[in-house]
């Protein structure tokens, strides 16, 4: 309790104090946060109160890369076994266009104090991967260098389905995303050299935690939970934060608690990824609205773009992706049964797998894709109304789902969850 009070005092000390300072902060945030209130279910008065609260904690919002936060409560470490020998790789070959993009990224990171030019016995190559919007993302390939020798770290992730159900039962919802989350955690000085990457222009080391290091997700998740885990109405999943409340006053208190903790820890949010009181939100790959939970468009697209498996590894990868949304596919076990049969060890070689793959597997694979495009909305349960269990079975499997009579049409059922 004392620690939380100290955080509050520290955060308030950093915040705008006078009326003119708060007014100036509010003016700065009006445009960046305009999208945060798009399609909001909050009243104009409630939106004004939230904007005033944001202005009070202006340092929590990054309006540009120069305002990127720097965590004061944690550092990224990359422990390795004793006597580990450094690994130094050559740069990957790149065409002129790719090389130009790499050099631009390096310059930007130097300007923003994310990296520094530093000699190191370690060295990992650089590659570019496409973002969702098609733009290139600068990535360091640590697979054969740092990741090969790291002592693995773990931290428990929240149960995704429990989080989704919690979001659906809340009356007041706001979501936020940490700006360039990994880059807000400084690298421990003793481990900076291990983050070295090589380009045709030189060798550089990260001062902030880089993407691509296998321990990075757990380092950030641990920090986030230790920083924000004391807030009862806040769900944390990696760098996605979701505030859920039964009343607006409680919502304001929880938002302020989150801002206080973030500001005290030196962390900042991305205004364009914040949403206050949205009619629907995309959270953890799902779309959540008052109607229920449905599969996110990106998830559907990912499944639609899956190529036909040509080996056991491909099939397991496909089933892993589809399994993420299995709750939305009626009779999932029966439909995937032909595919699951091919995951046995006897089909481990590519030749045996290709020989065994037949029209029934093509049909099962295509059927899965079709069903997902028309996947049902999973409705939220109303515990004041009766429930119905729908059961179906065949020689290949059995299935069941929990439902309730539809309010719009009592003759039809609203699916709540598979059983």
Categorize the per-residue pLDDT at 412 as very low, low, confident or very high, splitting at 50, 70 and 90.
low
* pLDDT of amino acid 82: 95
* pLDDT of amino acid 189: 97
Strand (E) or helix (H) holding 352: helix 350-356
* pLDDT of amino acid 1: 40
* pLDDT of amino acid 2: 42
The pTM assigned to this predicted structure is 0.81
Rounded to 10°, the helix 19-30/44-56 angle is: 110
Calculate the alpha carbon distances from 344 to 331, 367, 398 in Å: 21, 22, 21
User: Each residue of 158-211: pLDDT tens digit?
Assistant: 777 777 767 766 789 999 999 999 999 999 999 999 999 999 999 999 999 999
| Residues sharing a CB contact under 8 Å with residue 358, sequence separation 6 or more, in sequence order | none
Which range in 10-24, 162-176, 257-271, 364-378 is most confidently predicted, on average pLDDT? 257-271
Q: What beta strand segments (E) does 72-211 contain?
A: 115-117, 126-130, 136-140, 172-177, 197-199, 202-206
**Do the Cβ atoms of 417 and 404 come closer than 8 Å?**
no
User: Each residue of 314-371: pLDDT tens digit?
Assistant: 999 888 888 888 888 877 888 888 999 999 888 889 999 999 999 999 999 999 888 8
Cα–Cα distance measured from residue 321 to residue 319, given in angstroms and rounded to the nearest whole number: 5
User: Each residue of 333-343: pLDDT tens digit?
Assistant: 888 889 999 99
**222 versus 7: which is more confidently predicted?**
222
């Amino acid at each position: 309790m004392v620690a939380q009070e100290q955080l509050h005092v520290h955060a308030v000390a950093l915040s705008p104090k006078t009326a003119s300072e708060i007014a100036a902060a509010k003016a700065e945030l009006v445009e960046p946060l305009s999208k945060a209130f798009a399609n909001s279910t909050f009243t104009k008065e409630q939106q004004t109160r939230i904007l005033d609260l944001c202005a009070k904690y202006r340092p929590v919002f990054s309006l540009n890369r120069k305002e990127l936060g720097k965590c004061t409560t944690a550092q990224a470490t990359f422990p390795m076994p004793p006597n580990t020998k450094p690994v130094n790789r050559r740069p990957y070959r790149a065409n002129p266009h790719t090389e130009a993009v790499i050099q631009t990224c390096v310059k930007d990171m130097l300007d923003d104090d994310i990296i520094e030019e530093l000699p190191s016995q370690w060295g990992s190559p650089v590659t570019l991967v496409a973002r969702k919007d098609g733009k290139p993302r600068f990535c360091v390939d640590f697979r054969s260098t740092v990741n090969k020798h790291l002592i693995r770290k773990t931290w428990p992730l929240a149960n995704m389905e429990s989080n989704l159900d919690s979001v659906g039962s809340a009356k007041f919802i706001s979501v936020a995303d940490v700006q360039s989350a990994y880059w807000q955690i400084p690298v421990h000085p003793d481990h900076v050299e291990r983050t070295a990457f090589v380009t045709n222009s030189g060798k550089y080391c990260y001062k902030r935690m880089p993407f691509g290091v296998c321990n990075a997700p757990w380092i950030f998740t641990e920090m986030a939970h230790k920083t924000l885990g004391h807030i009862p109405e806040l769900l944390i999943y990696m760098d996605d934060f979701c505030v859920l409340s039964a009343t607006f006053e409680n919502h304001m208190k929880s938002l302020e608690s989150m801002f206080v903790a973030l500001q005290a820890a030196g962390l900042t949010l991305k205004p364009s990824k914040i949403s206050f009181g949205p009619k629907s939100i995309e959270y953890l790959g799902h779309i959540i609205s008052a109607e229920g939970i449905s599969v996110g468009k990106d998830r559907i697209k990912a499944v639609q773009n899956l190529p036909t498996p040509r080996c056991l590894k491909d099939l397991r990868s496909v089933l892993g992706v589809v399994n993420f949304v299995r709750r939305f596919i009626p009779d999932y076990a029966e439909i995937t049964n032909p595919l699951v049969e091919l995951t046995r060890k006897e089909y481990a070689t590519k030749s045996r797998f290709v020989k065994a793959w037949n029209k029934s597997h093509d049909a099962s694979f295509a059927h899965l894709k079709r069903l997902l495009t028309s996947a049902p909305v999973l409705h939220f349960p109303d515990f004041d109304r009766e429930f119905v269990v729908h059961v179906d079975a065949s020689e290949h499997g059995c299935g069941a789902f929990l439902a309730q009579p539809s309010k719009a049409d009592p003759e039809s059922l609203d699916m709540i969850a598979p059983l």
